[in-house]
Amino acid sequence: MTPHRFTTRDDWFAMQRVADGIYHITEPHYRADYRCNIYVVKGSQRDIIIDTGLGLGSLRTFVAPITDNPLLVCSHSHYDHMGSNFEFEERVIHPAEADIVAHPTAQNTYADPVLVTEDFYELPWPGFEARDWVAEPAPATGLIDEGDIIDLGSRSFVVLNTPGHSWGSICLWEEKTGVMFCADTVYEGELFDFLPCSDIPTYIQSFQCLLEYPVQVAYPGHGPILDATRFRTVIETYLRQHQS
């Protein structure tokens, strides 16, 4: 097996502490609306990392100064969220997408056709072509579904299954703080509800459920962090456009 190729650039990722115990990591050389928001959430007993980006840089090495061996919670199996899954020892995902991360291809993760070389401002290495992108198999070590609790000690999240963008899309909800990690279900920008794995009536149902939660701050899979108003506005705008 050829070893996975990582960039040697030291500026592949950027990290920012965005709240107490929450770090936001992104890949600034990939187009702004497609680059994934990765989060590290620290707890007293354990840490989690939510999603892993493109896998073109070593995320495990990059986050080592702030977290050692976090539990990877993969929000769904699209190429922009799972590239470095294989770097983490413990990984959980919804059962609907477990087969994809165990046997990923450019096609079933949508790297083909979405990931293109022209969408990089800087390349991970000279001569990089999007078709070089390799999805490493990383079978889940555990499955998560609606109502499961992810306990970090000092903080605790409930798993919500919010299909629509994809069947296995999940959100993480922390009642105590009103924090919602909402991945590709809710973000500002064009919502992808037209993929073969998407379903609009199901998306509408997930949105109706999400409106029941008293969200204070939402950390999406793309774009800016959302306050309560912006979170609701994204959902209500979509519902208005799709319900007559």
Q: Please choose, out of 54-62, 182-190, 202-210, 235-243, the segment that lies near Zn ion by the rule CB under 5 A.
A: 182-190
Nearer to Zn ion, 152 or 159 (CB): 159
Stretch of residues binding Zn ion (CB under 5 A), selected from 20-28, 156-164, 174-182, 214-222: 214-222
Contact window for Zn ion (CB under 5 A) among 17-25, 52-60, 86-94, 178-186:
178-186
Give the C-alpha separation, 48 to 40, whole Å. 6
Q: Is 78 in the site for Zn ion (CB under 5 A)?
A: yes
Least distance from Zn ion to the Cβ atom of residue 186, Å: 12
How far apart (Å, rounded) are the C-alpha atoms in residues 74 and 58? 17
CB nearer to Zn ion: give 55 or 221.
221
Does the protein bind Zn ion through residue 80 (CB under 5 A)?
Answer: yes
The secondary structure of residue 33, as a DSSP letter, is T
CA distance 242 to 208: 12
Number of H helices, E strands in the chain: 6, 13
* Comparison of 70 and 221: residue with beta carbon closer to Zn ion: 221
Residue 133 and residue 4: Cα distance in Å, rounded?
A: 10
DSSP state of 205: H
Shorter beta-carbon distance to Zn ion: residue 152 or 172: 172
Query: 194: how many CB neighbours lie within 10 A of its CB?
Result: 9
Q: Which residues bind Zn ion (CB under 5 A)?
A: 78, 80, 184, 221
